[in-house]
Structure 1
Amino acid sequence: MAESEHREAKLRNRVVDSISRRAENALKEDYGKARVMASDAVQSQAYLYPIKGIFYFLAHRSLWQPLIDRIVPYGTLTISVIAAMFTIAYLPQLAVLLLFNGPLAVYSTVLLTLNESSIIIHMISRTWILQEALMDTFDGTMVSRNATAVVQQGREVRPGSDPMKKLGKVFKKRFEKMSLTSMVRYFMYLPLNFIPVVGTITFIFLHGKHRGRIVHSRYFQLKNWSESQRTQWLNTHTGAYASFGVVATLLEMIPVVSIFFSYTNTVGAALWAADIEMQNNAMVKETAPNLRQAAESIE
């Protein structure tokens, strides 16, 4: 009997040791990935481009027209969605979050409702209201940054001094619409908001990380990159695109002025693409030869 118990104890110890080693290895691997991602984000300075987009947009009046043309329909949509969500969804969600978050539930529910409103507005506006305007804003910004040759791969560019008036007929695929997979992923992340503070931050990070992977969809279209080329580039620069996406997501969560940030984030993405194209970004500078080689190998 004692010998049997001894064998069982040894077996349990082996199992515990095995689990401990695997957990330790997993933590080391995740920590390593996090360090690489953070290093990529810092080195690329991609998180600054949404802010650069604000100042560049304000300084270039020619980029304003697509926004001005869409203010009324987008504003109506925004007010309608936010009002409906706070009327219908706020109190039921508050009642649930009170069980998990206590007094913090008031703030968590506001953020959750704004997040939900934001994704609904994003889905509707990107499909029916802003799609063409954001594409024009991206292309116009690229032209203003002397990346005309890239834009000409997807549309006619006429002579002139005003970058927006130079944009002609489009003959390449438009901005990508929000996919069903993206919507499913978003709603899968929603329960994270039940976790006080940390859960909401994690939700914003995960949503922003995915958002970052689509900010250069127009650039990739203009460059004629295949799906495998896009995936290789995005996987090489995960941290950079995640940092851009998180900042862009936070800006577009601000009620009422979210349409303004939709345009400035598009401008920021175009500025980033122009810098990559001119190799004026840390992602492709000689100080990081491995990244530069990755960029050149895709061409």
Structure 2
Amino acid sequence: MSSSNFVESVQAKAQEVAKEDFDRAKILINDAARSGSYLYPLKGIAYFATHKSLWRPLLSRLGPTLALSAGVVSSMFFFTYLPQLAILVFVNGPLAVLTTVLLILNESSTIISIISKNFLLQDAILDTFDGTLVARNATDIVTEGRQIKPNGDPIARLGKVLKSPFSRFSPKALVRYVMYLPLNFIPVVGTVAFIILNGRSRGATVHDRYFQLKRYSQSQKSAWLSEHAGAYAAFGTVATLLDMIPVASILFTFTNTVGAALWAADIEAKENEMAKTTAPGLQETAKKAE
């Protein structure tokens, strides 16, 4: 094969791969747009603000977590801003001032998330998720994972946990985060891609508790996430952007949890409605068969 034919072959293959990736991205974007999942983090903010009983888990952990957030963000800017700026300025030019800030906020958010969710907030986040489901009258699904008391507000009704809560931080998530870091050397586009990729990873975990309550096997969970990949990536990206806001990220950790629970409640309500609609038809078909 001549060199010109080889180059043409490589170019054709590159165009084919690019087209496949573009078509895949278009499907994911359409999936996200149809699902409206990107709105749930915002719905979580509104719902949290108007349901004071959901504030209790946050308030119980507010002091230590705010101190952690302030300490991590200030330390990261003090110790890493100039070194990272010196590197990024070579590839991003004047925009490095902005992209370095975004990078440090994302790094800080990741550090805060790892520490707080594993040592400070795990029980509080679990109560917030389950409490939101109870508030949305999805009590039946919550009883699969914990006892529910008959009286009181949604948080007061939460009893003993029967199933272990969310899994702790996965080393794979940290490895994936470090792998994506070099994207920040690409001006603007790289930083955006970095946030979206982290958002996609984040989105894949937001319904871990819901899948646990549904008793999904790993294969069922993987199939569901694959079928709704765009929706979960959109939710995760918006949630990641909210988590990047300094100090306030602790609040958005809880509102994002509320948003994820609202989404789960809507999925559950839709499935129940479909079951009610389908059941009479199946019964009628069975009678005719007899």
Fold agreement, TM-score > 0.5: yes
**Partner letter of residue 131 of structure 1?**
Q
Q: Find the counterpart in structure 1 of residue 283 from structure 2.
A: none
Higher mean C-alpha displacement, 163-172 vs 94-103: 94-103
**Partner letter of residue 87 of structure 2?**
V
- Counterpart-to-counterpart distance in 2, 1:98 and 1:14: 40
- Counterpart-to-counterpart distance in 2, 1:140 and 1:267: 9
Pick from 54, 61, 86: which aligns with 1:63?
54
**Partner letter of residue 123 of structure 1?**
I
- Counterpart-to-counterpart distance in 1, 2:91 and 2:22: 28
Pick from 135, 138, 146: which aligns with 1:155?
146
In the TM superposition, residue 60 of structure 1 has moved relative to its aligned partner by 0.5
Q: Find the counterpart in structure 1 of residue 265 from structure 2.
A: 274
Q: Find the counterpart in structure 1 of residue 231 from structure 2.
A: 240
Q: Find the counterpart in structure 2 of residue 34 from structure 1.
A: 25
**Partner letter of residue 30 of structure 1?**
D
Q: Find the counterpart in structure 1 of residue 193 from structure 2.
A: 202
SS of residue paired to 2:230: helix
**Partner letter of residue 176 of structure 1?**
S
**Partner letter of residue 114 of structure 2?**
M
TM-score normalized with structure 1 length: 0.89
Do the aligned residues in 2 keep the contact of 1:143 with 1:163 (CA within 8 Å)?
A: yes
Pick from 64, 76, 80: which aligns with 1:89?
80
Aligned-residue identity in percent: 56
In the TM superposition, residue 236 of structure 1 has moved relative to its aligned partner by 0.4
1:134-283 residue pairs with structure 2 within 5 A? 134-279=125-270
Higher mean C-alpha displacement, 81-90 vs 58-67: 81-90
- Counterpart-to-counterpart distance in 1, 2:166 and 2:233: 19
SS of residue paired to 1:98: helix
User: Per the alignment, do residues 186 and 213 of structure 1 end up closer, same or farther by CA in structure 2, a change over 3 Å counting?
Assistant: same
SS of residue paired to 2:159: strand
SS of residue paired to 2:137: coil
Q: Find the counterpart in structure 2 of residue 21 from structure 1.
A: 12
Higher mean C-alpha displacement, 128-137 vs 14-23: 14-23
In the TM superposition, residue 285 of structure 1 has moved relative to its aligned partner by 7.8
- Counterpart-to-counterpart distance in 1, 2:207 and 2:101: 30
- Counterpart-to-counterpart distance in 1, 2:24 and 2:260: 24
- Counterpart-to-counterpart distance in 2, 1:158 and 1:210: 35
Pick from 3, 7, 11: which aligns with 1:12?
3
In the TM superposition, residue 280 of structure 1 has moved relative to its aligned partner by 7.5
**Partner letter of residue 177 of structure 2?**
Y
Do the aligned residues in 2 keep the contact of 1:132 with 1:175 (CA within 8 Å)?
A: no
Q: Deviations over 1:111-158 (max 9, x none)?
A: 111111111000000000111000000000001111111100000011
- Counterpart-to-counterpart distance in 1, 2:4 and 2:96: 42
Do the aligned residues in 2 keep the contact of 1:173 with 1:221 (CA within 8 Å)?
A: no
**How large is the RMSD of aligned CA atoms in angstroms?**
1.6
- Counterpart-to-counterpart distance in 2, 1:16 and 1:186: 34
Unmatched tracts of structure 2, length 5 or more: 276-290
Do the aligned residues in 2 keep the contact of 1:156 with 1:170 (CA within 8 Å)?
A: yes
Higher mean C-alpha displacement, 211-220 vs 109-118: 109-118
TM-score normalized with structure 2 length: 0.92
SS of residue paired to 2:147: strand
In the TM superposition, residue 18 of structure 1 has moved relative to its aligned partner by 2.2
In the TM superposition, residue 169 of structure 1 has moved relative to its aligned partner by 0.2
**Partner letter of residue 105 of structure 2?**
L
User: Per the alignment, do residues 95 and 134 of structure 1 end up closer, same or farther by CA in structure 2, a change over 3 Å counting?
Assistant: same
Q: Find the counterpart in structure 2 of residue 53 from structure 1.
A: 44
Pick from 34, 39, 43: which aligns with 2:34?
43
SS of residue paired to 2:165: coil
- Counterpart-to-counterpart distance in 2, 1:177 and 1:245: 18
